[in-house]
Amino acid sequence: MNQKLKPMIYVACLAAYNAGTLHGQWIHAAQDADSLHKEVQELLKQSPESIAQEWAIHDYEGFGEIRIDEYEPLSEVSRLALLVDEYGEPFAAYAAHVGNDSATEESFLDAYRGRWDSELAYAQDLFDELHAHELPEHLRFYIDYEAFSRDIFLDGHSSVRSSDFGVYVFIDA
């Protein structure tokens, strides 16, 4: 079963880092950007260096396949973390697939079709949903689901492997 992702970032004080001291902390990232900023400012106030103004993200976890840059704006970290917190691994897989900038809540909800054991399982379900009522029972054995699956994933559908099993399926924009 898919475990809930808990997005966190490790923020380090660069003044301390440059002076040869490690000073940083893990921060829960699934909060608004202002709250993240306040936590970073509090971290800098507690720095062993007297002039501590700059920081960097030295590590992160709980974002699935999403990549977070060392100098990622806190507004972007917050946006992604809140969406991962809300939608879990499917959103993280989508964002990694389309890119962080393109991964919005609206685009994800429009594109996401669900998780299936395989692309073939998705194609069978989709074909049956769209066409099963049109086909007489004796003709259903002649449907080439593998060809249908190959065609839809070449034109308009995409999949991302799930960490647990199967694939997440998206309709390309």
Span 31-72, pLDDT tens digits: 999 999 999 999 999 999 999 999 999 999 999 999 999 999
Reduce the DSSP state of residue 28 to 3 states and report it.
strand
Residue 3 banded pLDDT, cuts 50, 70, 90: low
- Helices and strands (DSSP H and E) totals, the chain: 7, 6
**pLDDT recorded at residue 138:** 82
Please give the tally of structural domains in the chain.
2
Residues 6 or more apart whose CB falls under 8 angstroms from that of 161 comprise 167, 168
Residues 89 and 129 placed together within one structural domain of the fold: no
Residues 34 and 118 placed together within one structural domain of the fold: no
Answer for the pair 49, 19: CB distance below 8 angstroms, yes or no: yes
Q: Flag whether pLDDT at 157 surpasses 70.
A: yes
List, for residues 121-137, the tens digit of each pLDDT value. Answer: 999 999 988 887 788 88
Residues 74 and 34 placed together within one structural domain of the fold: yes
pTM (2 d.p.):
0.87
* Structure tokens, 13: 């004080």
Boundary residue ending a domain (52, 79, 103)? 103
Answer for the pair 5, 55: CB distance below 8 angstroms, yes or no: no
List, for residues 16-36, the tens digit of each pLDDT value. Answer: 999 999 999 999 999 999 999
Residues 32 and 65 placed together within one structural domain of the fold: yes
Residues 86 and 137 placed together within one structural domain of the fold: no
Residues 91 and 121 placed together within one structural domain of the fold: no
Residues 25 and 80 placed together within one structural domain of the fold: yes
Q: Please state, in angstroms and rounded to a whole number, the distance separating the CA atoms of residues 13 and 101.
A: 27
Residues 55 and 83 placed together within one structural domain of the fold: yes
